[in-house]
């Protein structure tokens, strides 16, 4: 894999949006780099050791690894940049991402995203108070209103609790999310996770390709 790192991408949504603007072909009028999902699948083979197994758990602490299929590639790319650059604290993910070039990240993100979820147009009748602010970016139906945000519908509830708690405690360095999460109580996290985690249609675990030994 290539080791070219390009410019440092910070976890702030505003800066990440600028850094990834080229992915949408909008940065300074430059042509968008082409994403190669087939190449991304080849590069992501080791990623599938965790993200290709439904219900697979991270150890120490134990929580479900996130489902990725159906996310927007822009968000997945921003997340990988965060792990690569140290804005997200996870030793294994940092080790995996540290060898990736910007093009590698784009290709892997495009592969895992597959066909991103589209808003249903039929949000639930009511949103719990704790989740109401979240819905302004992540959608009342759990499908992100912009590609840079993650869709939360159908995501593992224990993963959502862990992710929000990392924003609260600084394990994920995003000043916007830190501000939102700072005043949340532990019970709020559970309410938010249960609400979004049970919404359908939702993100899914990427199918892991069969191997001779895995059939």
Going from the N-terminus, what domains does the chain have, and what CATH number goes with each? 13-26+34-197 (1.10.760.10)
Q: Which residues contact 91 (CB under 8 A, 6 or more apart)?
A: none
First to last CA, the chain: 28
Place of tokens 């249903």: 120
Q: In this predicted model, what pLDDT tens digit does every residue of 92-149 receive, in sequence order?
A: 999 999 999 999 999 999 999 999 999 888 777 889 999 999 999 999 999 999 999 9
Kindly report which listed range (12-21, 82-91, 170-179, 193-202) carries the lowest average pLDDT score: 12-21
> What confidence category does residue 29 fall into, taking pLDDT thresholds of 50, 70 and 90?
low
């Amino acid at each position: 894999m290539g080791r070219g790192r390009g410019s440092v991408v910070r976890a702030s949504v505003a800066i990440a949006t600028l850094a990834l603007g080229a992915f949408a072909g909008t940065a300074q009028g430059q042509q968008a780099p082409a994403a190669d999902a087939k190449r991304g699948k080849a590069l992501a083979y080791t990623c599938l050791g965790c993200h290709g197994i439904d219900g697979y758990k991270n150890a120490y602490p134990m929580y479900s690894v996130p489902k990725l299929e159906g996310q927007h590639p822009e968000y997945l790319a921003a997340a990988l940049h965060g792990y690569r650059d140290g804005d997200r604290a996870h030793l294994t993910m940092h080790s995996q991402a540290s060898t990736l070039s910007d093009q590698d990240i784009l290709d892997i993100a495009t592969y895992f995203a597959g066909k991103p979820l589209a808003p249903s147009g039929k949000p639930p009748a009511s949103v719990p108070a704790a989740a109401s602010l979240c819905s302004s970016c992540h959608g009342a139906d759990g499908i992100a209103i912009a590609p840079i945000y993650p869709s939360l519908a159908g995501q593992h509830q224990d993963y959502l609790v862990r992710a929000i708690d990392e924003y609260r405690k600084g394990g994920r360095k995003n000043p916007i999310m830190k501000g939102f999460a700072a005043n949340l109580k532990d019970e709020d996290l559970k309410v938010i996770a249960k609400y979004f985690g049970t919404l359908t249609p939702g993100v899914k675990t990427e199918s892991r390709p069969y191997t001779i030994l895995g059939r």
